[in-house]
Each structure stands twice: as C-alpha cells, then as structure tokens.
C-alpha cells in the first residue's frame, strides 16, 4: 500500500520541485533560509488539495462512512493509511470544495494578488504550487472519468474545448503569477 502514495504523488512532487527551481531562477536574491522556505512551500502545496477530504470528514459530512473511516485513520495516527484511503476513495466524496473548478478559478486571481504582496516567499510558493497541482488533479480525475465532479457547480459537464481552454487559462495565469512575483 505504501507504493500507491509514491505512485500518486510522484508527478505532483516533480511539478512542485520544478516550480521551486523556477521560483529560484526568477530573479531571486534571498538567503538560504528563503530557499528552504520555497521548497517547503512547494512541497506543502502538493498536499494542500488533500485538505478537502479532511474538511469533508470533520466539518461538511461528519456522518458519512468515508468521513468516519478517515477520522479513524487519523485517530490511530496512521497518516500513510489516511492518504492511501483518500487516494483510493476520493470519488466517494461529492461536491468537493478545493478540488473544483470554482477553487481553481479563484486561485488564478488569488495567486496574482499573493505574488504581488509583501508576504513571505513561503506563502507565494505554497499558493503557486497549489495552483499548479489543481491542474494535475483535474486531469487526474478527468481521465478517470470523474471530470463532472470537478465542475459540480455547473448543471452539465462542459465539453472538451471548454475544459482544455479553462485549464490552459489557469496555466497561463500561473505563468503570469510566476512572472509577476516580487
């Protein structure tokens, strides 16, 4: 079972580390501590979208069977088992808050706002990594046949041109955010 965590997170890990390298190479004049903050931020951004399942388990749907089992994993401090459970049973949670087009759309503008602010480089790296990982998560769910879950706010699942155009726009906005980082 431990191999499944590596299999699922290997692409987000590569994307996050690559983003960290890009952030370092974009006119960065910080200290070694700032470099560490960048890489901690991009790694944590890789896991940010998993908070959706914990939000569901503890606040939104605490009586659901998925929520009860996830809370049991956490209670027994089996975090590897909890992540495996999330990976294998993610499709049981409907109307996700963070794993959705609404969150992805709002992150486009939030990322621009954050990178232009005077916040720590940690938060900038965290937000940009989260935004990058929303693109991966969408395509991961989409190619497994759960694309309509991402667009739960819409009455009907949009067509392929809209889906690809929307994610291309998210990618362009991510590039713009990286370009505008200060």
- List pLDDT tens digits, range 48-72: 999 999 999 999 999 999 999 999 9
Instruction: Give the distance, in angstroms, between the CA of residue 132 and the centroid of all CA atoms in the same chain.
Output: 7
| Domain definitions of the chain by residue range | 2-180
Higher pLDDT, 70 or 88: 70
Q: How far apart are CA 150 and CA 148, in angstroms?
A: 5
Mean pLDDT of 117-140: 94
pLDDT of 119 higher than 70: yes
- Two tokens at 71? 């809370």
Give the per-residue pLDDT at 94. 80
**pLDDT above 60 for 121:** yes
Q: So what's the pLDDT on residue 27?
A: 66
Q: How far apart are CA 66 and CA 87, in angstroms?
A: 12
Only one residue has tokens 């999330």, namely 86
**For 6-45, what is each residue's pLDDT tens digit?**
888 999 999 999 999 999 998 677 789 999 999 999 999 9
């Amino acid at each position: 079972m431990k191999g499944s965590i590596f299999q699922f997170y290997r692409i987000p890990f590569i994307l996050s580390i690559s983003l960290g390298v890009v952030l370092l190479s974009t006119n960065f004049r910080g200290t070694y501590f700032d470099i560490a903050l960048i890489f901690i931020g991009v790694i944590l951004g890789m896991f940010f979208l998993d908070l959706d399942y914990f939000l569901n388990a503890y606040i939104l749907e605490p009586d659901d069977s998925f929520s009860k089992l996830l809370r049991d994993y956490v209670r027994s401090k089996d975090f590897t088992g909890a992540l495996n459970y999330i990976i294998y049973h993610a499709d049981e949670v409907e109307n996700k808050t963070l794993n959705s087009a609404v969150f992805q759309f709002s992150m486009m503008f939030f990322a621009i706002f954050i990178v232009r602010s005077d916040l720590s480089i940690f938060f900038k790296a965290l937000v940009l990594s989260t935004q990058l990982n929303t693109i991966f998560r969408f395509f991961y769910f989409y190619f497994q046949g759960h694309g309509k879950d991402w667009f739960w706010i819409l009455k009907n699942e949009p067509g392929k041109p809209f889906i690809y155009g929307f994610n291309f726009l998210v990618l362009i906005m991510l590039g713009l955010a990286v370009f505008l980082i200060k």
